[in-house]
Structure 1
């Protein structure tokens, strides 16, 4: 599948994706390969079996297993590939794991990012860096219009706090080392991307709602559901990835797109955990749940993103509503478990076709 999208920005370009063996990273690498990019990946081994990365079988991607905390290993990957564009997705991404391992979470998500920026500083080929953080970087406060990019940063749990720190580190390096006045002829353009909760086929991570549901269904058991009233900005994994790629495209040609960006669904697709489970069950009746009344660590009751900035300045908006995203997600897992099929490339092709149908600029 060869795709001419994003004004051809990625065709023939050297692109490094950190966290490529993870759920979101593996989908991004697949898309970049379809765009004709020369892709290298830097990550730890997949921590699940099955693994979307392994199932994709992208054997032509340079696959480096390096920990972000290994500064010399990071520098070696940059020396080997001289990337022009970097998408940074590697992280310790789980809230509850961050309670169990706070030191490792901060080491990876903060000092690992510092190591990455230091490697970029000494690699004169890099022109664009998109750092994917999270919607959880915002200080917890009620805002009916959703969090905007200029709202205060904060965090209750170690994961959220580490990602808020990552936003500050990104801003610091952008201003201190990569700004045009101090970076020579070719400064590095840096942006951060704050995405809502992603769903889609190929996610088997621990302690995430949809993967937990899928595992329970495969085992013919019920999943214990905590915080069914918590509201989250659910979206298919291809939605924020289209935002990252659009952001990278525009950064390549214009420094005016640096800084933070939200990527989330329409307000109508910000629904509760319980409502999501009920809707997903209409696509896959084998999914069963029970209430979990045990004590659990703090989680925000409502997470809502305001994405007006991306819609107005990037001409980005979602392609699939939540119903469509749930349908594609359930169909992916059923195809895998019932027929051994991997639907990822087909889902990407359908997504691009529907983006063209609604005349999104990146798909023109």
Structure 2
């Protein structure tokens, strides 16, 4: 098993790292990890949505240089990137909710697609070397809802605006890789870009609406039944630490070999480690110690995929990445954070990262 702590420390200590979307759930976890590794972090994102958001809980402003701005503001984005001269960019800024994308489709496309275009285009004016990891989603695939797990070379698509916008972002990555940052001309531009696809992450500190764990925790705290919209839906559940370790390892590999790893990569659970939504909720309730679920007869709901699996063999065999926490432990660590980590969230987050790295 790879010693992540040594590799990540050697790669990121004293390096300039830009995170777009640093105030979001995954962004706050990544910010905390990079801070622990000794990186100099600059964040670019919208203000956190509410006081409970993880970024506020961990006092994220103390961990980085925080720029509150919109990814769609291309002039501001360009200014901040060129002034910072990052060694690494992790692009997480996104409208990340499927159901919200039905309510705000054009905003979703603007943020996820044009925002990515503005970031990639800025790289043409950045004179220093830079590694870029563009974070998309497992939902970029043209999902046929079959049991075959999707590989990185499978067809892209998107039923809903969110999925389609992320597939478009992947096409942008491919276009800029070929047109401006071609692998065969690396010596002329020194830019290495990869796409990282991960699925349904869970973990402490998530308070977004229309996500299963935050909805579950709110219900349990208020002694209400947990409403389960799609109980038999199967998702590649994993703790947020898992894909973040993949992103960080991918960044390290891109430094080692900037052209070999400048591709798309899947990060998900092992094939036999999947849960339905109902199973996840029942296990979470058991760990919490009380509660019950309710399966209402909902009609006229927006389409959401019922089955989605990722093939992670490429990441295992070529990057050397492999999940350390199974779905059961991911649920346990997540619920424990809400039960025991709310008083000192940053310290509890550090503990979980260190436990993971040292496993």
- The TM-score with structure 1 as length reference comes to 0.93
CA contact (8 A) 1:105 1:158 kept: yes
Q: 1:330 to 1:82 in 2, by over 3 A?
A: same
Alpha-carbon distance in structure 1 between the residues aligned to 2:188 and 2:143? 41
- Equivalent residue for 2:26? 24
Root-mean-square deviation (CA, aligned residues, Å) is 1.6
- Shift of residue 283 of structure 1? 0.7
For residue 109 of structure 1, the aligned residue among 112, 118, 139 is: 112
| Deviation sequence 1:294-340 (CA, Å, 0-9, x none) | 22111111010000000000010001111111111111001145x56
| Deviation sequence 1:71-119 (CA, Å, 0-9, x none) | 1110121132111110000000000000000000000011111111122
1:323 and 2:328 are equivalent in the alignment: yes
Q: 1:273 to 1:256 in 2, by over 3 A?
A: same
For residue 270 of structure 2, the aligned residue among 266, 270, 289 is: 266
- Equivalent residue for 1:256? 260
- Equivalent residue for 1:164? 167
Alpha-carbon distance in structure 2 between the residues aligned to 1:341 and 1:111? 34
1:89-238 correspondence runs (5 A):
89-181=92-184, 185-238=188-241
CA contact (8 A) 1:177 1:183 kept: no
CA contact (8 A) 2:150 2:309 kept: yes
| Deviation sequence 1:110-160 (CA, Å, 0-9, x none) | 111111112222112242100000000000214433000011101110000
| Deviation sequence 1:193-226 (CA, Å, 0-9, x none) | 1002100101001100001001111222112211
Alpha-carbon distance in structure 2 between the residues aligned to 1:350 and 1:305? 26
1:36 and 2:41 are equivalent in the alignment: no
- Equivalent residue for 2:292? 288
Flag structure 1 segments of 5+ consecutive residues without an equivalent.
355-364
- Equivalent residue for 2:349? 344
Alpha-carbon distance in structure 1 between the residues aligned to 2:84 and 2:77? 11
The worse-fitting range, judged by mean Cα deviation, of 149-158 and 114-123 is: 114-123
Q: SS of 1:239's equivalent?
A: helix
| Deviation sequence 1:24-69 (CA, Å, 0-9, x none) | 0110011111111111000001113301111112414100011011
Alpha-carbon distance in structure 2 between the residues aligned to 1:7 and 1:202? 25
- Shift of residue 183 of structure 1? 6.0
CA contact (8 A) 1:284 1:330 kept: yes
Aligned residues: 352
- The TM-score with structure 2 as length reference comes to 0.94
1:72 and 2:75 are equivalent in the alignment: yes
- Shift of residue 293 of structure 1? 1.4
Alpha-carbon distance in structure 1 between the residues aligned to 2:69 and 2:18? 13
Alpha-carbon distance in structure 1 between the residues aligned to 2:70 and 2:55? 17
